[in-house]
Amino acid sequence: MKLARSFYERPDVVTVARELLGKELCVVMDGQLTTGIITETEAYAGITDRASHAFGGKRTARTEIMYARGGTAYVYLCYGMHSLFNVVTNVKDVPHAVLIRAILPRKGISTMKARTGKNVINGAFSNGPGKVAKALGIHYSHSGLDLLGKAIWISDAGLEVPDDQVLCGPRIGVDYAGDDAKLPYRFCWNVSVIK
């Protein structure tokens, strides 16, 4: 069942990041359906969060998408070669977002393998935000798409994600953010217990 607008528009981005674990991210690109269970997320808490692109209320052509209403896709290019996919949360003009860092591929696996080439190492797959977007066919030009639309949406797969299977800790790659880099805004569902 597709998640409703109200799921994304809630005020606490950290809660949304936690609850996105176990949900199914579904994407139709190039006529191909690919989906995966979300296993790792990070919250970016808007204008007060030094690690966020919207820190200090900054608005640019790129970050403007973060100010859209909850349930919008924010995708941007990192290191000149990787698209990173985020879920915009909270109401319009509050630039909160959740980065999807890892998924467990579910449907369209052969399509994902074709897109990512030989990115299958030690049994892991689609772990890492750049690889997730690549496997799902998401490009930074897709930034701004509605998550209640027909290209990208998220479903409640009916999976239970108990607290004792969830790791919570600091975010990755945000050392530049000072004290905010230490905030426990990263959630990881321990995949080894899923099977």
Q: Which residues are at the interface with DNA (CB under 7 A)?
A: 42, 44, 51-53, 58, 60-63, 66, 74, 76-82, 84, 86, 97, 99, 116, 118-119, 121, 128-132, 140, 171-174, 176
Q: DSSP characters for 9-73? A: S-S-HHHHHHHHTT-EEEEEETTEEEEEEEEEEEEEEGGG-TTSTTGGG---TTGGGGGSPSSEE
In whole angstroms, how close is the CB of 179 to DNA at the nearest point? Answer: 16
Q: Is 117 left (phi over 0), alpha (psi -120 to 50) or beta?
A: left
CA distance 106 to 139: 20
Q: In which element (H, E) is residue 135 found?
A: helix 129-136
Which CB, 110 or 159, lies closer to DNA?
110
Closest approach of DNA to the CB of residue 123, in Å: 13
Minimum CB distance to DNA smaller for 129 or for 137: 129
Q: Which is nearer to DNA, 35 or 143 (CB)?
A: 143
Least distance CB 69 / DNA (angstroms): 17
CB nearer to DNA: give 159 or 175: 175
| Cα 31 from chain centre | 22
- Minimum CB separation of residue 118 from DNA in Å reads 6
DSSP state of 132: H
Could you give the maximum distance between any two Cα atoms of the chain, in Å? 44
What φ, ψ does residue 119 adopt, rounded to 5°?
Answer: -80, 45
Kindly tell me which of 20 and 132 has the beta carbon lying closer to DNA. 132
Q: Which amino acid is at 168?
A: C
The least distance separating DNA from the CB of residue 158, rounded to whole angstroms, comes to 27
Between 44 and 153, CB nearer to DNA: 44
Instruction: Quote the least distance from Cβ 162 to DNA, whole Å.
Output: 26
Q: Give yes or no for a contact between 62 and 70, defined as CB atoms under 8 angstroms apart.
A: no
